[in-house]
Amino acid sequence: MSSVPNEFRIKWPPKETWTDATREVQSFWGEPNSWEEGSKTNVINVMANHPPLALAWSHYGKYFMTGHTLNTRQLEIVVLRVAKLVNSPYEWHNHVGYAINAGITLEEIAAIRDFPNCEHSFNEEEAAIITACTELIGTNNLTDETWNALSKTLDQNQRMDLVMLIGNYVMTSWALSAFGVPIEGGADAIGFDLKTQSGRTPGVTYRPGENEDWIEKRGY
Alpha carbon distance 189, 220 (integer Å): 10
| Same-domain check for residues 46 and 109 | no
Do 51 and 122 sit in the same domain of this protein?
no
C-alpha 137/C-alpha 145 separation (Å) is 16
Q: Write out the residue range of the structural domain in which residue 54 sits.
A: 15-65
- Encoded amino acid at 121, one letter: S
Identity of residue 64: F
Q: Model's pTM, two decimal places?
A: 0.92
pLDDT band at 32 (very low <50, low <70, confident <90, very high): confident
Strand partners, 190: 196
Do the domain assignments include residue 9? no
Shared domain for 60 and 147, answered yes or no, is: no
Is the domain of 148 the same as that of 208? yes
Q: Are residues 52 and 142 in the same domain?
A: no
pLDDT digits (tens, 9 = 90+) for 143-177: 999 999 999 999 999 999 999 999 999 999 999 99
What is residue 196's three-state secondary structure? strand
Question: Does the pLDDT of residue 215 top 70, yes or no?
Answer: no
Q: Which residue has the higher pLDDT, 104 or 7?
A: 104
CA distance 169 to 85: 11
Segment 37-64, tens digit of pLDDT: 999 899 999 999 999 999 999 999 999 9
Q: What's the pLDDT score for residue 168?
A: 97
Place 7 in a pLDDT band, splitting at 50, 70 and 90.
Answer: confident
First-last CA distance in the chain:
25
Residues 133, 208, single domain; the answer is yes
**Rounded mean pLDDT, 57-73:** 94
Average predicted confidence (pLDDT) for the chain: 92
pLDDT digits (tens, 9 = 90+) for 107-118: 999 999 999 999
Instruction: Find the helix or strand (DSSP H, E) in which 101 lies.
Output: helix 89-101
